[in-house]
Structure 1
């Protein structure tokens, strides 16, 4: 259990650094510039590294398929129901998509290693890959819709290099390409820089965010989707199917992880209430500190 706590709390070091940096230097730190560098450059390294570190095996695709099914079903329900609750287009975008974009990579992978061991890595890798496609298609579209029309939002999806990078990396992996150690070291440097910058950026946006000024309806909606509806649907589905208990547990934990910092990246990039999204990510991270222990106990029933 201590390894789980350490995996969760370890990421907060860089978040705290970002917060302190923004508090100390204020306007000298340009939030948007950091976002652009991370999204358009460093995350390209992260995508290549994550997808080439292990071969993508077709037999592993069952787990991400279940993850995708659960995410899309909740997205559809959310998109329909939120339309009646949130008249502001930006709030509607956040309410619809934020909960399904979870931190399956930076937190989900090390957390599953702590719970299930290194044999969980192939499954967490492909689930995180599925989440990457959700983030850079559905996520980009909805956050972009907060400020742009449908046509522009669709264009914004294809403009991002990460999606194309992921496609190239998958093709290379399927055809058996194995990068040399030297290339992997370069990719790893960029990948860790991206992860660190994402956490740092979260701390930057956290500074000056006033949680008490956020719509209580929006907060309750997103947190309910994230920690009640999503895990409940996941549990019912996983309980009803025949599957290895470890794989069930991995899927459940990846569904349960808090909102990803990628939400902040795109809310900032497309001017879709980045301060509000930052606060929601922070609130979900705090709730998760308690929810994870309930989630671990639930695993025994799957």
Structure 2
């Protein structure tokens, strides 16, 4: 029940965005909100998360494995998506969407709900890895719908979040600790970023029409998210020596539904943002049912 309440509390802000767009229609400019979120507020979120506590090398096994499974899934998805989808934008979405999970806004609070506060160091570092996945692989594929390979690579370098994350890691490694005043400022920006991403998701959700949902793409993304990746993860974890709790956290972080960051990038690079929003919504709705069985699933580790 606590798991369900954690998820519903997050979904409340999605409802706020949906209601705001329903009430004010064109007065709300979703493109402007996207730019503010991606280019400004997410910098605060990145610094706050990466300076929260020292990076302990003993904790790096889980995020390293998370990255390895993500890259292995990407290698599998590239040829499969190329065979199934002819349209460049659809192929980009099919390749990368399922790999960008909501490890921050949903993964961190769910980790606390299921494993306690001792999960925070692991979920924080896994979310860090996911940030780099979002702003490297994610940017490359979502911008491929409108840009060449060279242009897509340049788009990665243009985003300030990647540079902010690199700088924050350097500060962490040299032992910098923000003062209480700076930490409070970063925290305010971080929570504003998380809230705005959820509200933005609700705004895009308002524009979805059931008749416009791409059923083939939706079936593909949902299957990849909740069948291919979990089965691959479960199989790999059987051969890895790791604490059961850490295995459970890793499995959870790879199972969480699509992140709102998918919508941000699809909107930023004009890669069918309404279509991507539908995928985020469908996986988020499906996860509500899966969440009820999560405690039983995680006990298998």
Which whole-Å deviations, capped at 9, do the CAs of 1:264-288 have from their partners, x for residues lacking one? 0000000000001001100000100
Q: Given the alignment of the two structures, is residue 290 of structure 1 paired with residue 273 of structure 2, yes or no?
A: no
Which deviates further from its counterpart, 237-246 or 40-49?
237-246
Q: Given that residues 139 and 265 in structure 2 are in contact (C-alpha distance below 8 angstroms), is that contact kept between their aligned partners in structure 1?
A: yes
Partner of 1:123: 122
Q: Structure 1: which 5+ residue stretches go unaligned?
A: none
Q: Secondary structure at the match of 2:102?
A: coil
Q: Given that residues 210 and 279 in structure 1 are in contact (C-alpha distance below 8 angstroms), is that contact kept between their aligned partners in structure 2?
A: no
How far residue 213 of structure 1 moved from its aligned partner, in angstroms, is 2.0
Q: Secondary structure at the match of 1:11?
A: helix
Distance (whole Å) between structure 1 residues aligned to residue 211 and residue 67 of structure 2: 33
How far residue 299 of structure 1 moved from its aligned partner, in angstroms, is 1.5
Partner of 1:161: 160
Distance (whole Å) between structure 1 residues aligned to residue 178 and residue 127 of structure 2: 21
Distance (whole Å) between structure 2 residues aligned to residue 214 and residue 196 of structure 1: 26
How far residue 291 of structure 1 moved from its aligned partner, in angstroms, is 1.4
Which whole-Å deviations, capped at 9, do the CAs of 1:12-44 have from their partners, x for residues lacking one? 111111111111111111110000000000000
Which whole-Å deviations, capped at 9, do the CAs of 1:248-269 have from their partners, x for residues lacking one? 0000000110000000000000
TM-score for both structures, normalised by structure 2: 0.98
Partner of 1:49: 48
Which whole-Å deviations, capped at 9, do the CAs of 1:225-259 have from their partners, x for residues lacking one? 00001111111111221110110000000011000
Q: Given that residues 63 and 247 in structure 1 are in contact (C-alpha distance below 8 angstroms), is that contact kept between their aligned partners in structure 2?
A: yes
Partner of 2:218: 219
What pairs up with 1:27-106 in 2 under 5 angstroms? 27-106=26-105
Q: Given that residues 256 and 295 in structure 1 are in contact (C-alpha distance below 8 angstroms), is that contact kept between their aligned partners in structure 2?
A: no
Distance (whole Å) between structure 2 residues aligned to residue 212 and residue 4 of structure 1: 32
Q: Secondary structure at the match of 2:238?
A: helix
Equivalenced residue count is: 301
Q: Given that residues 51 and 129 in structure 1 are in contact (C-alpha distance below 8 angstroms), is that contact kept between their aligned partners in structure 2?
A: yes
Q: What's the Cα RMSD here?
A: 0.8
Which deviates further from its counterpart, 114-123 or 239-248?
239-248
Q: Secondary structure at the match of 1:240?
A: coil
Distance (whole Å) between structure 1 residues aligned to residue 235 and residue 62 of structure 2: 15
Q: Given that residues 15 and 202 in structure 1 are in contact (C-alpha distance below 8 angstroms), is that contact kept between their aligned partners in structure 2?
A: yes
Which whole-Å deviations, capped at 9, do the CAs of 1:172-215 have from their partners, x for residues lacking one? 11111101000000000100100010000000000020234222
Q: Given that residues 4 and 291 in structure 2 are in contact (C-alpha distance below 8 angstroms), is that contact kept between their aligned partners in structure 1?
A: no
Q: Secondary structure at the match of 2:216?
A: helix
Partner of 1:194: 193
Which whole-Å deviations, capped at 9, do the CAs of 1:40-66 have from their partners, x for residues lacking one? 000000000010011111111110111
How far residue 106 of structure 1 moved from its aligned partner, in angstroms, is 0.4
Distance (whole Å) between structure 2 residues aligned to residue 80 and residue 59 of structure 1: 35
Partner of 1:206: 205
Partner of 2:142: 143
TM-score for both structures, normalised by structure 1: 0.98
